[in-house]
Amino acid sequence: MDEFHQGTVQDGASEVCDVSEVSWDVETDVVVAGGGGAGLTAALAASQATDLTVTVLEKEPEAGGNTRLSTGLIPAAGTRLQEAAGVDDAPEALATDVLEGCDYEADEAVVRRLAEEMPRVVHWLMDDWDVPCIYVEDFKYPSQSEARMHSVEGQHGSNVVAELLERVEAVPNVELLTNTPVRKLVAEDGAVVGVVAGESEEAIRSDAVVLATDGFGANKRMLDEWCGAIKDAPHYGAEGNTGDGIRFGAELGGELGCMDSYQAHATLAEVGAVSPYAIVLYGGIIVNGDGERFGNEGLGPADFSVHVVEQDATYELFDERIYEKTEAAGFGDFDEAVALGAYTRADTVEELAAELGCDPEGARRSVDAYNEAIATGEPDAVGRAEYRHTLEAPFYGTKTKAVLMQTQGGLVVDTEARVLRADGSAVEGLYAAGGSAMGLSGTGPSGYLPGNGLMAAFGLGHIAGVQARTAVER
């Protein structure tokens, strides 16, 4: 990856040029920089003004970004799908869960706006775009007061992206170009009026630009600057996540917020596929090389990953009931992990541990102590009192490790997804969504609630697309 894609905010290298320095090669109404979940959502929203042209510029050979690699579970509270399932939920409850999860360190106005936006986004996808959304009613993450995840069949980000791409490619006023990185913004008197993109550095005139290039998980220099604690963990996000949009906006005076925030995941199977955390939440446990539990797995995949990083090796242990329940739930990650041979089966805990490579006696003691705590109804030795179920033979397991999924810091935006300067003024013509914008998780790694990333991608993406088209139409 070239030096441009490994730049930092502090480099001083200019990634914004003045309009006087370019001759326009192409004109469009809205440019969307990045073709992940946020960018594709923004493009669809902007395209609904059918007299406008929308150009999506994706750096990688394939669109999808981090959304393609995600679980594809989109949080929304108060949808008609929930209502049909008999679930009484509301945006206010989602906002409260997100804000309490990060100790109110996120922008409260933005969180509340997104909580209100999410049911509208789900209904918009279903009604305007005929996306067959489903409600995942039997699965609730820690810190979410209700089951409120929505997806499509297959319950994986690749399936969600496939649905979005099918719609984008069918819309006549949207053009999606891959292998076309945005390399610079073009500004006139502080307002964004276009971009320079592609290896040939074409100048594209545009009335609005949406930054949806995601975070900086693949930029080692930016990780070292902002997220040193996780910089050496394997990166499971898209390789195009090098912080380009964040640097562009910052050069125009855009304020940065929560730059030390990130989402890690605790259970990447050794074969290279994510082992869904549903396995733990259905009752599985995680042990280290000595077969000992080292933290409360019920904290969730992001919070618990902080403890996993401290271990030399970790192992996920569960039983046949959990295997079958996870299989029946239809998680795409699980199907991929099974296809790659991630899981080992054995009749006893000792046999399973020996095959996996952790201490057999230690693993047996951990399972016995876990089961005994459940029988007594008391919290166990690591403080876990929820998401428990007695483990019984036959047993399953896999060797796991913690990985960095995405960074959560970025450009500060308002409730209309406009990029803001430190003085509160907006950078005219510039919007940010998904990982390019400051996330909903506060500072550090512990405030991330599962779903925060896709909430920022789809919620801010939809808002940015609507606002961009509205600004152009004025």
CA distances from 430 to 7, 82, 214, 215, 466 (A): 21, 35, 15, 17, 13
The residue that leads in pLDDT, 7 or 222, is 222
pLDDT of amino acid 229:
79
- Percentage of the chain lying above the pLDDT 70 cut: 99
Please write the tens of the pLDDT for every residue from 370-416.
999 999 999 999 999 999 999 999 999 999 999 999 999 999 999 99
Beta strands in 329-394 (DSSP E): 344-346
> Helix or strand or coil: residue 445?
coil
Please write the tens of the pLDDT for every residue from 304-323.
888 898 898 999 999 999 99
pLDDT of amino acid 228:
85
Single pTM value for the model: 0.90
Mean pLDDT in residue range 75-82 = 98
Mean pLDDT in residue range 161-172 = 98
Burial class (CB in 10 A: 0-12, 13-18, 19+), 24: middle
pLDDT at residue 4 tops 70: no
pLDDT at residue 362 tops 90: yes
Which structural domains are found in the chain, ordered by start?
3-260+409-473 (3.50.50.60), 263-404 (3.90.700.10)
pLDDT of amino acid 300:
85
Half-sphere exposure at residue 334, Cβ-oriented, CA atoms within 13 angstroms: 18
Mean pLDDT in residue range 193-203 = 97
Furthest-apart CA atoms within the chain: distance in Å:
75
Beta strands in 115-155 (DSSP E): 134-135, 149-151
pLDDT of amino acid 140:
84
Per the rule left: phi > 0, alpha: psi between -120 and 50, beta: everything else, 108 is: alpha
